[in-house]
Amino acid sequence: MPTMWQRDLEADRERLTAWLRRQLPDARDVRITDLVAPQSSGFSNETLLFDLECVENGCARRDPLVVRIEPKGMQVFPEYDLGLQFRTMRMLSATDVPVPPVHWIEEEDRSVLGGAFYVMGQVRGRVPTDQPPYHAGGWMTEVSPAERSAIWWGGIETLARIHRLDYRALGFSFLERPQLGATPLDQEIAYYERYLEWAARGRPQPIAEAAFDWIKRHKPVDEPTVLCWGDARIGNIIYNGTTPAAVLDWEMVTLGSPEMDLGWSIFLDRHHSEGLEIPRLEGFPSYEDSVARYEALTGHRVRHLHFYQVFAGFRFAVIMTRIAQQMVTYGVMDEAAGHEFETNNTVTRLLAKLL
């Protein structure tokens, strides 16, 4: 979904060029070309694409770059830590998890682009679409079943790569939140309990509330802890052909059970098919085969997939509550329709089915 405001790209170009000159004191003739704001940018952030051209050490260079800007207006999440995303990708750059190269971050001077932002390299390739959902339209409907299978397996293999990392050795222990609970799952449950209270603004959310009660009664114990991507799905991977070239969107990164990512990935794929009452595209492996492949790659036996699909549906339902309010705020829906959409949408209906 596009952002609900328009940027002044010429003013952005001028201010960003001056900022880049400060980051590149040894470069000459620094300029920005091909600056665009893609309409695929979501409600939770803004994205700008451009080419950086300059002369450095006597050589002309041209670098395709991306700017990610913290959201303004009505946010999807209660807080938005742009530095966390930047730091995560920088730390992962030394691993076998493919991430875009990150260059600079600006968290102090919000006069440049109206908020904190970071700059990373563009990675060429294609991303399975959310608009339309890839089972319903877009380029995924045009490739062969064998290519779809390879793309899906690439997503499962990417999850396994992330979960095989030693998060402590890499320095990700800072993601621990003992103030929220004794275990990573307790901490994540507490976070989304507060998120739901913040997003609901006193209005009943019957399906999300029923799911939350179920989650508290059925939560697993004695689980392994790994680095979790958070928004784990093929729609957050840039593919070079059928090979994952870059893993994107680390705003939900956390620690937790590996099954939390696996459950989210499967729930999101179910949402893009079953949730829309359309069949999965031919070539997509079954969820049973996906679990078996994941287990073979990680050595982790999956025991709580249903729980983590419900937990995924609950978290997504909380997020949709806030997105519905954004749609009202930005005039996409009237207030009555927006209030209905908060509690009755493709996510909540699939979640109710799982419950």
Within a domain: residue 127? no
Where among 71, 89, 121 does a domain terminate? 121
Nearest C-alpha neighbor of 162 from the set 233, 220, 222: 233
Spatial distance between the Cα atoms of 286 and 305, rounded to a whole number of angstroms: 14
Spatial distance between the Cα atoms of 291 and 96, rounded to a whole number of angstroms: 21
Phi then psi dihedrals of residue 269, to 5 deg: -65, -40
10-residue mean pLDDT series, the chain (355 residues): 67 96 95 86 73 93 95 86 96 97 96 95 96 96 98 98 98 97 97 96 94 98 97 97 97 97 98 97 98 98 98 97 92 92 96 97
CB 328 within 8 A of CB 334: yes
Q: Angle, to 10 degrees, between the axis of helix 184-200 and the axis of helix 305-329?
A: 30
**pLDDT tens, residue by residue, 297-349:** 999 999 999 999 999 999 999 999 999 998 998 889 999 999 999 999 999 99
Same domain membership, residue 176 and residue 297: yes
Helix/strand/coil for 308 = helix
Spatial distance between the Cα atoms of 278 and 155, rounded to a whole number of angstroms: 21
**pLDDT tens, residue by residue, 211-253:** 999 999 999 999 999 999 999 999 999 999 999 999 999 999 9
Same domain membership, residue 161 and residue 109: no
pTM of the model: 0.94
The CATH number for 76's domain is 3.30.200.20
Within a domain: residue 184? yes
Same domain membership, residue 110 and residue 155: no
Within a domain: residue 62? yes
What is the sign, positive or negative, of the torsion defined by CA atoms of 148, 150, 154, 157?
A: positive
Expressed as residue numbers, the domain containing 69 is: 9-121
Same domain membership, residue 271 and residue 173: yes
Same domain membership, residue 163 and residue 78: no
How far, rounded to the nearest angstrom, does the alpha carbon of residue 251 sit from its chain's CA centroid?
6
Same domain membership, residue 203 and residue 335: yes
- Active-site annotation holder among 231, 249, 261, 269: 231
CB 267 within 8 A of CB 316: yes
Percentage, residues of the chain above pLDDT 90: 89
Nearest C-alpha neighbor of 260 from the set 297, 303, 208, 296: 303
Within a domain: residue 3? no
Within a domain: residue 133? no
Same domain membership, residue 338 and residue 268: yes
Within a domain: residue 1? no
- pLDDT at position 38: 82
Same domain membership, residue 301 and residue 172: yes
Nearest C-alpha neighbor of 227 from the set 167, 315, 281: 167
- pLDDT at position 45: 66
Same domain membership, residue 76 and residue 164: no
How far, rounded to the nearest angstrom, does the alpha carbon of residue 197 sit from its chain's CA centroid?
22
**Cα within 13 Å of Cα(295), Cβ side:** 11
Within a domain: residue 126? no
Residue with tokens 């399975």: 128
**Residue 8 known to be catalytic:** no
Same domain membership, residue 310 and residue 227: yes
Under DSSP, the state recorded for 61 is: E
Within a domain: residue 52? yes
In sequence order, which ranges of the chain are alpha helices (DSSP H)? 9-23, 82-92, 145-164, 167-170, 184-200, 206-218, 258-271, 287-298, 305-329, 335-343, 346-354
Phi then psi dihedrals of residue 310, to 5 deg: -65, -45
Same domain membership, residue 337 and residue 235: yes
Spatial distance between the Cα atoms of 290 and 273, rounded to a whole number of angstroms: 16
Nearest C-alpha neighbor of 250 from the set 93, 38, 86: 86
Same domain membership, residue 89 and residue 224: no
Neighbour tally for 170: CB within 10 Å: 14
Nearest C-alpha neighbor of 320 from the set 352, 355, 347, 354: 347
Spatial distance between the Cα atoms of 94 and 125, rounded to a whole number of angstroms: 21
- pLDDT at position 41: 43
Task: Look at the chain and report how many structural domains it folds into.
Answer: 2
- pLDDT at position 2: 46
